Amino acid sequence: MKVLGISGSPRKEEFSGVHRLVTTVLEAAGCSFELVSLRGMKISGCIACLGCVKDNVCKVEDDMKPLREKIIEADAYMIGAPNYYSGLNATTHAFFERWFQFRHQEGNLLWGKLGVAIGVGGTAGQFPADEIEKFFLYNFIETIAKVSGQGAASCYSCGYGETCKVGIPHLLYGEGAKITPEKIPNVTKQEAVMQAAVDAGRLLGKRLLDGHDRMETTLKMQKAMMDKFQGAV
């Protein structure tokens, strides 16, 4: 059983809460895994060229190309993204848009797999985690856990964080907020978040090793998708 971890943060590993949480979940799962960071990768959004319709292979030449096989081979996904404007950051969104290549003619390469969704935000990370869950559902992947934590917004280190009226320190602590080391959020200091990450990893490992039935999961997720859309018309 192989798990593919994706960190969608553009930050260096040591400064990224997303990278920390994805790593924690992966290590707790007890399965073989590969962690890919999208940092520095050039991945465009889907350009709707329909070049993938006949064979489910995207024809856009960029850094998504070598990820295709990794996505297909994995039994489960652990995907984390930072909260940018209360949603997914653009790189992670572009990465997911390119999963369009797997959909055509009832392409079932990803159906029935398992996923963990991870989000980190300067205030909170639930928005990107919810969006990752939505992308998983489009591919009939079951989100077995969502983990969200608070990371350090750039405002803590940009140099203007104590005076800027639209910065996160001001929004969280009010006017005249002083930036002290203990105020700077770090997921490793958030015990409940780190525990949730370990629990998510263990649950994923258990589900995978307990004879995970992809067909059963596929049917469950197809029903969830139908319910979602039938309520919308």
Ligand X SMILES: Cc1cc2nc3c(=O)[nH]c(=O)nc-3n(C[C@H](O)[C@H](O)[C@H](O)COP(=O)(O)O)c2cc1C
Query: Which residues sit at the interface with ligand X, rule CB under 6 A?
Result: 9, 11, 16-18, 82-86, 120-124, 151-154
Nearest to 145 by CA among 186, 109, 96, 193: 193
Supply 7's token pair.
Answer: 């960190």
Q: Judged by CB, which is closer to ligand X: 9, or 218?
A: 9
Q: In whole angstroms, give the CA distance from residue 103 to residue 55.
A: 10
- Write the CA distances from 155 to 36, 70, 167, 171, integer angstroms: 27, 35, 6, 11
Scored b (16 or more CB within 10 A) or e, 117-148 reads bbbbbbebbbbbbbbbbebbbbbbbbbbbbbb
User: Hey, which residues does 77 pair with through a beta bridge?
Assistant: 4, 115
Q: Judged by CB, which is closer to ligand X: 85, or 229?
A: 85
Q: In whole angstroms, give the CA distance from residue 22 to residue 227.
A: 30
- Torsions phi, psi of 201, nearest 5? -65, -45
Closest separation in Å from C-beta 229 to ligand X: 28
Q: Judged by CB, which is closer to ligand X: 11, or 207?
A: 11
Q: How far is CA 13 from the centre of its chain?
A: 15
The residue number with the shortest CB distance to ligand X is: 151
Closest separation in Å from C-beta 7 to ligand X: 7
Closest separation in Å from C-beta 175 to ligand X: 19
Closest separation in Å from C-beta 95 to ligand X: 15
Q: Judged by CB, which is closer to ligand X: 148, or 218?
A: 148
Closest separation in Å from C-beta 19 to ligand X: 6
Closest separation in Å from C-beta 4 to ligand X: 18
User: Hey, which residues does 148 pair with through a beta bridge?
Assistant: 119
Q: Judged by CB, which is closer to ligand X: 37, or 218?
A: 37
Q: Judged by CB, which is closer to ligand X: 101, or 148?
A: 148
